[in-house]
């Protein structure tokens, strides 16, 4: 018991030492980097649905907690405070979804702001400062959309977008490195994300970029009269095939190997990957979205249905217009109007390793009896009533118009009386 207590005490002291070391290292960073006298904005570009971190790279030594602010445009009166004023906001990323407001998708850890599953509406200025409104550091964040993104399949001989050059500016794509092969042991695929950038000598000087006169297309440093042609250029993604071997697993002992061989021979079911599997029942005709556990949009993710490989060259969203089952650019698997044939086990690969299974059962949903209190019933009654009133009004208007037309076309005839000779 005493040994356990001593071990726990040593562990706690080690954790405290590491925490103090981390704070000291962070403090050294602030000592080495002085805050600029004039607030500048560092350009940072990402693809929608990505998670990114914005470190507060400088602050005075006497400031022990920072406050993060968000402004859509420079000098805007509307400023959103992204903190609880203690600089300690920590959220559970597992409960976050893309449709959440930015206030529910941020976290502050060690003076850094983390935005989960960023959306295009999150583009703007992020400022690190104090409660009083003193700003130390700023970012110009450009979240580029995945809608209508340009897709290039290298295996099919397709090429990426050409540069667009004008007199005062030029547009081009900056590609990230190729991802890892999303499968191992079998043919897989690699992705390469490309973001839109602009080069011009007329960029706003208040924005700081890694390369002079070059910034992302959605940056606030780009003059307003350049925005119209820039909007026509989209980010892009290139996809190519790959093949990589699986890492060698540890060979079990001889006795364990013999027992496993006997079990495999006695088993009647086909071999299935040894990954955690979730069971789910989905009503027929409904829509379903499956996410790979622990995966982010920039990861290499692949999907299989039983033994069928769902390659992006066929199942990526936008490959054809009549897709019912597809993979989006955030690596989610979509099924629209689920059918009985969709039932089966779906396997998810992450960074070249199979990590999870999803066993789907499609069921017929028994319809319950409707009552007049159901929202659907109330809506149907209102819709029928409004339709009846509208048809009645149209019917009355038509008959009134017909009567008026007859009156004006056939005016009353004047009667003529003929008098006899004695009249």
Structural contact between residues 179 and 162, judged by C-beta atoms closer than 8 angstroms: no
Tell me the mean pLDDT in the region 76-90.
64
Domain spanning 273-363: CATH 2.60.40.10: yes
Q: What is the pLDDT of residues 147-168, one digit of tens each?
A: 888 999 999 998 888 888 888 8
Encoded tokens for 386: 């409004």
Give every CB contact of residue 212 below 8 A, 6+ residues apart in sequence.
Answer: none
Q: Beta-strand (E) ranges in 176-224? A: 187-199, 207-208, 214-216
Encoded tokens for 28: 């050294």
pLDDT value of residue 272: 66
- For the cut 60, the answer to whether the pLDDT of residue 177 exceeds it is yes
- Confidence category of residue 58, pLDDT binned at 50, 70, 90: confident
Phi/psi at 123 (5° precision): -65, 140
CATH 2.60.40.10 domain locations along the chain: 25-143, 273-363
Please choose, from the candidates 109, 171, 137, 353, the residue with its C-alpha nearest in 3D space to the C-alpha of residue 247: 353
Q: Specify the higher pLDDT residue, 131 or 359.
A: 359
pLDDT value of residue 311: 95
DSSP character for 73?
Answer: S
Please choose, from the candidates 139, 143, 144, 145, the residue with its C-alpha nearest in 3D space to the C-alpha of residue 71: 139
Q: What is the 3-state secondary structure (H, E, C) of 128-144?
A: EECCCCCEEEEEEEEEE
Encoded tokens for 412: 């009353």
Please choose, from the candidates 115, 113, 144, 145, the residue with its C-alpha nearest in 3D space to the C-alpha of residue 127: 113
pLDDT value of residue 412: 56
Q: What is the pLDDT of residues 359-388, one digit of tens each?
A: 999 988 765 566 666 666 777 888 899 999
CA distances from 139 to 81, 157, 178 (A): 15, 38, 26
- For the cut 60, the answer to whether the pLDDT of residue 36 exceeds it is yes
Q: What is the pLDDT of residues 254-269, one digit of tens each?
A: 444 444 444 444 444 5
Phi/psi at 156 (5° precision): -90, 5
Q: Can you tell me whether residue 78 is helix, strand or coil?
A: coil
DSSP character for 316?
Answer: B
- For the cut 70, the answer to whether the pLDDT of residue 354 exceeds it is yes
Please choose, from the candidates 101, 93, 31, 104, the residue with its C-alpha nearest in 3D space to the C-alpha of residue 63: 31
What CA–CA distance (Å, rounded) separates 283 from 167? 57
The CB density around residue 294, as the number of other CB atoms within 10 Å, is: 13
Structural contact between residues 277 and 359, judged by C-beta atoms closer than 8 angstroms: yes
What are 238's strand-pairing partners? 152, 192
What CA–CA distance (Å, rounded) separates 319 from 140? 33
Encoded tokens for 272: 């299935």
Structural contact between residues 52 and 59, judged by C-beta atoms closer than 8 angstroms: no
Q: pTM for this structure?
A: 0.67
Distance of CA 169 to the CA centre of its chain: 30
Structural contact between residues 47 and 329, judged by C-beta atoms closer than 8 angstroms: yes
Encoded tokens for 348: 């998810």
What are 125's strand-pairing partners? 71, 140
Taking only Cα atoms into account, the Rg of the chain, rounded to an integer number of angstroms, comes to 33
What CA–CA distance (Å, rounded) separates 297 from 117? 9
What CA–CA distance (Å, rounded) separates 422 from 415? 21
Q: What is the pLDDT of residues 310-333, one digit of tens each?
A: 999 999 988 887 889 999 888 999
Q: Which fold has domain 25-143?
A: Immunoglobulin-like (2.60.40)
Encoded tokens for 69: 């602010």
- Confidence category of residue 274, pLDDT binned at 50, 70, 90: confident
The CB density around residue 168, as the number of other CB atoms within 10 Å, is: 10
What are 232's strand-pairing partners? none
Please choose, from the candidates 171, 140, 159, 189, the residue with its C-alpha nearest in 3D space to the C-alpha of residue 233: 171
The CB density around residue 327, as the number of other CB atoms within 10 Å, is: 22
Encoded tokens for 88: 């300690």
């Amino acid at each position: 018991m005493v040994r356990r207590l001593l071990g726990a005490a040593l562990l706690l002291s080690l954790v405290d030492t590491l925490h103090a070391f981390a704070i000291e290292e962070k403090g050294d960073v602030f000592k080495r980097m002085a805050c600029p006298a004039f607030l500048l904005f560092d350009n940072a570009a990402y693809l929608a649905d990505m998670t990114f971190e914005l470190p507060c790279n400088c602050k005075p030594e006497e400031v022990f907690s920072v406050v993060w602010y968000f402004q859509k445009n420079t000098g805007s009166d509307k400023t959103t405070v992204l903190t609880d004023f203690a600089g300690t906001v920590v959220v559970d990323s597992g409960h976050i979804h893309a449709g959440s407001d930015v206030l529910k998708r941020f976290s502050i850890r060690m003076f850094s702001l983390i935005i989960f599953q960023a959306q295009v509406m999150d583009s703007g200025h992020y400022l690190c400062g104090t409660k009083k409104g003193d700003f130390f550091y700023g970012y110009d964040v450009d979240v580029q959309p995945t809608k209508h993104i340009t897709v290039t399949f290298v295996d099919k001989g397709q090429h990426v977008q050409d540069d667009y050059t004008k007199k005062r500016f030029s547009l081009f794509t900056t590609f990230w490195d190729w991802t890892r092969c999303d499968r191992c042991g079998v043919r897989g695929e690699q992705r390469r994300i490309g973001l839109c950038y602009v080069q011009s000598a007329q960029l706003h000087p208040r924005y700081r970029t890694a390369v002079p006169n070059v910034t992302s297309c959605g940056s606030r440093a780009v003059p307003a009269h350049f925005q119209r042609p820039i909007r026509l250029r989209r980010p892009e993604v290139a996809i190519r095939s790959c093949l990589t071997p699986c890492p060698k697993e540890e060979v079990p002992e001889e006795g364990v190997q013999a027992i496993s061989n006997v079990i495999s021979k006695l088993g009647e079911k086909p071999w299935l990957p040894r990954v955690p599997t979730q069971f789910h029942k989905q009503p027929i005709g409904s829509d379903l979205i499956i996410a790979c556990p622990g995966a982010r949009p920039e990861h290499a993710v692949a999907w299989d249905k039983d033994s069928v490989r769902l390659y992006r060259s066929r199942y990526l969203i936008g490959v054809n217009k009549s897709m019912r089952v597809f993979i989006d650019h955030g690596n989610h698997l979509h099924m629209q109007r689920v059918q009985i044939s969709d039932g089966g086990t779906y396997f998810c690969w992450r960074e070249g390793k199979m990590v999870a299974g999803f066993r789907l059962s499609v069921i017929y949903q028994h319809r319950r009896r409707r009552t007049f209190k159901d929202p659907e019933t109330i809506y149907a009654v209102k819709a029928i009533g409004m339709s009846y009133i509208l048809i009645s009004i149209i019917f009355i208007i038509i008959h009134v118009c017909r009567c008026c037309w007859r009156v004006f076309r056939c005016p009353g005839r004047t009667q003529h009386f003929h008098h006899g000779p004695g009249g």
